[in-house]
Structure 1
Amino acid sequence: MKRVLIYLIFTLSLANTALAQSDPMDALYGHFKNANSKEIAKSFSSSLEIILLDQEDVYSKAQAEQILRDFFIKNPPLSYVKVHSVGNTNVKYRYGVIILTTKNGKFRVSILMDKVSNGYLISELKIESEK
């Protein structure tokens, strides 16, 4: 009986550890809410596509961080709501959408992360006015 109890405790412990490992998107959503462009940029690939309102281009990691920082200065975030997430079923990419509420309105933020050797990096970031 004692061995069965120890086995159950060990199994539940492993299950809790697996559940605690979160999707990389979850941390990003919090960084958007906190306007933390520096932390978000840590997840940028060396170059990425940014679609911001009506402008679209491919930028370096440093340029993309500056663009995002400028966006946060103009639109200080207040909160977010997670709308859509694809990730745990596909190991090649992660995709998530949030509605970011700012002092100047709501924005739909779409994030595409591609699998790299040691994790996931953002390859596309789209921020558009919520209609």
Structure 2
Amino acid sequence: MKRYLIRTLFLGWLFLFGAGAAQAQADNLAPVRSAIRNGSSRELSQYLASTVEIGFDGDKKTYNSTQAEIVVKDFFGKNAPSSFEFIHQGESREHIQYAIGRYTGASGTYRVFVKLKPSRGAPEIDTMDFTKE
């Protein structure tokens, strides 16, 4: 009986810890999702790392955060969003969070990959990749 109780408490603790980690991950991605959904490069810029890799249909370049904001603003200007949702979220063994989403804009639908790297505060966007479907 004691063994069963300890096992149940341990499994319950693991479940609660796992749910907390998933909630923290979702919380980190919620403002990013909102900024992309609103087509707000300014809002998104708050979550950019000092250097960011941005790709459009396989053409990837590295920008500082100011340049990245301008590049994303140009994309949003040409492809105003009508909808955006993350369809998958995860975390690597190294605690690097990522999400894959579907962005529907004026010129079509894009698959969006976002990678967040750990930092001293909240995780920051390290990579964004837009691929037309």
TM-score per shorter chain, which class?
0.7 to 0.9
Judged with a 3 Å threshold, the aligned counterparts in structure 2 of structure 1 residues 104 and 59 are, in CA distance, closer, same or farther, namely same
Unmatched runs of 5 consecutive residues or more in structure 2: 1-15
Q: Quote the Cα distance in structure 2 between the aligned partners of 1:75 and 1:119.
A: 28
Q: Which amino acid in structure 2 is aligned with residue 109 of structure 1?
A: V
Partner residue of 1:112 out of 109, 112, 115: 115
Q: Which runs of 4+ in 1 moved over 2 A?
A: 18-23, 89-92
Unmatched runs of 5 consecutive residues or more in structure 1: 1-14
> Does the CA contact (< 8 Å) of 2:37 and 2:85 recur in 1?
no
Shift in Å at residue 91 of structure 1? 6.9
Partner residue of 2:73 out of 49, 69, 76: 69
Instruction: Give the helix-richer structure, 1 or 2.
Output: 2
Identical-pair percentage? 23
Partner residue of 1:86 out of 81, 84, 90: 90
- 1:28 corresponds to: 32
- TM-score where L is the length of structure 2: 0.76
- TM-score where L is the length of structure 1: 0.77
Shift in Å at residue 90 of structure 1? 5.6
- 2:8 corresponds to: none
RMSD: 2.0
- 1:10 corresponds to: none
